[in-house]
Chains A and B, each alone.
Chain A
Amino acid sequence: MVRVAVVSGRRAVLATVAGACMVLTGCSSMQQPDVEQAATTFEESGADPATRCELLAPATLVEFEEKESASCAEAIEDVPLEGGEVESVEIWGGDAQVRLSGDTLFLTETHAGWRITAASCQSRGEAPYDCEVEGP
């Protein structure tokens, strides 16, 4: 009996946590399709460079062009974008992370929709990801 009570108590706690989380993150499951769409369109093999550049967040676009000393449409062609299947999506407030089988991307919500703030990223454990394309 005690065991059952403990388990159901833990479930209640987890349900409360999940419910509160949903409220605080602005019902992230509703935003998941849009986030996935932006990430997969950006990473799609053979995607038009102009389309990819339109999907970059404004500050990321500026930073990327400055770093590469070239227009985004030219420079983006040299970035290795492996793409692949969506493995996980995390949305917290106006920020998101999409893990694909070949890459990890970070996104931000703008008035024009979800835009990429960083792509072609490698994990460095506790430290921030090392990204080929990234904003300030």
Chain B
Amino acid sequence: MSEESRGFARDNALSLTFGGLFVLTLAGQAVSGTADYNTQQIVEGLEPVTLFEYVTSSSFGIDVMENWQSEYLQFFLYIFATVWLIQRGSAESKKPGEEGPESDKEQRLGRHANDDSPEWARTGGWRTALFSRSLGMLMGGLFLLTWAASSIAGWAAFNNEQLGQRQDPVNWFGYLGEADFWNRSFQNWQSEMLAVGSMAVFSVYLRQRGSPESKPVGVAHADTGQTG
């Protein structure tokens, strides 16, 4: 049964709100980042830069990319891990015994598809195989792209810093072996793993009334995979 539309804004309130918040917070990062960068420039006896110069610099590039890559890594790992791993009692988990990709019937594939199922869920073959993993693959692909972008922006920022400290620049492969690259990666990754792990556990014992990220308030702690 398809849901009745209640207008574009209400139908897309979640994505519109987060899209707007993304733009606002990115602008906030650009403005505060420029101020922070210029404070350092003045300390080093160098000239301040404009907002445009800052947002087109490797310094802004690495600050944005190192966060994006870790977010996409988080979702990529979570999407694949929750296929095979369960957390008893968690709203974020399938029920014990449901581990794995599940049957075609459970996933409504091929002849089990509904009339309104996506076409690639019905056709079978490589299209269905690809569509069945498209969300995780997109997240994995975006992770690899943003991590690569992070390595390039980080390399440029690192060399800029090296020259400012009167040290020799390194090539891209050299940067991949630098502690700076791995420190930036790990410090972002660990925070994502913490957030995902704690959410899986917190949703066993705590509730948020009305949120699909939580179990209904009255559901037992031991019940797994219910959302309200």
Binding site for B on A (CB under 8 A): 17, 20-21, 24-26, 57-60, 62-63, 90, 92-97, 106, 108-111, 117-118, 121, 123, 126-129, 131, 134-136
Q: Which one of A24, A59, A63, A136 contacts B153 once the chains associate, using CB atoms below 8 Å?
A: A24
Given the known A-B contacts A92-B156, A94-B160, A95-B160, are A128 and B46 also in contact in the complex, defined by CB atoms under 8 Å? no
Q: Give Cα A25–Cα B158 distance, bound, in whole angstroms.
A: 12
Can you name 9 A-B pairs with beta carbons within 8 Å? A20-B153, A21-B156, A21-B172, A25-B58, A57-B46, A90-B163, A92-B162, A92-B163, A135-B45
CA distance A121 to B163 in the complex (A): 13
Question: Which residue of B152, B159, B166 contacts A20 across the interface (Cβ within 8 Å)?
Answer: B152
Per-residue CB contact flags for chain B residues 53-84 toward chain A (1 = under 8 Å, else 0) read 00011110100000000000000000000000
Q: How far is the CB of B174 from chain A (nearest CB, A)?
A: 12
Interface size on B, residues (CB 8 A): 27
Closest A-B pairs by Cβ, 5 of them:
A59-B45, A95-B163, A93-B160, A92-B159, A24-B156
What are the residues of chain A within 8 A of B163 when measuring CB–CB? Answer: 90, 92, 95-97, 106
B167-184 interface code vs A (CB 8 A; 1 in, 0 out): 111001000000000000
Q: Answer whether residue B165 sits at the interface, using C-beta atoms and an 8 A cutoff.
A: yes
CB distance from B168 to the nearest CB of A (A): 7
Interface residue from B44, B166, B172 paired with A106 (Cβ < 8 Å): B166
State which residues 6-45 of B face A: CB under 8 Å. Answer: 44-45
Look across to chain B and name the residue whose beta carbon is closest to the beta carbon of A126: B167
Bound CA span A92–B166, Å: 12
Interface contact A121-B166, CB-CB below 8 Å: yes
| A97 partner, pick from B45, B47, B157, B168, beta carbons under 8 A | B168
- Choose among A96, A111, A129 the residue that contacts B47 (Cβ–Cβ < 8 A): A111
Contacts of A128 in B (CB 8 A): 165-167
Contacting residues of chain B (95-109) with chain A, CB-CB under 8 angstroms = none
CA distance A86 to B153 in the complex (A): 27
Residue of A whose beta carbon sits closest to that of B57: A93
Contacts A21-B172, A97-B169 aside, 12 further interface pairs with beta carbons under 8 A come to A20-B149, A24-B58, A24-B61, A58-B45, A92-B163, A92-B169, A95-B163, A96-B163, A106-B166, A110-B46, A118-B166, A134-B166
Cβ of B118 under 8 Å from chain A: no
A84 to B183: give the CA distance in the assembly, Å.
Answer: 40
Q: Which residues of A contact B138 (CB under 8 A)?
A: none
* Closest residue of B by beta carbon distance from A125: B168
| Interface flag for B124 (CB, 8 Å) | no
Q: Is B164 in contact with chain A by the CB < 8 A criterion?
A: yes
Q: Decide yes or no whether B129 CB sits under 8 A from chain A.
A: no
Given the known interface contacts A25-B156, A108-B46, the answer about A95 and B58 at a Cβ–Cβ threshold of 8 Å is no
In the complex, the chain A residue whose C-beta lies closest to that of B42 is: A59
Is the beta-carbon distance between A90 and B169 smaller than 8 angstroms?
yes
Within residues 121 to 158 of chain B, which ones have a CB less than 8 A from any CB in chain A? Answer: 149, 152-153, 155-157
Question: Distance in Å from the Cβ of B69 to the closest Cβ of chain A?
Answer: 15
Residue of B at shortest CB range from A26? Answer: B56
Bound Cα distance A123, B166 (Å): 9
- Highest count of chain A CB atoms <10 Å: which of B47, B49, B153, B163: B163
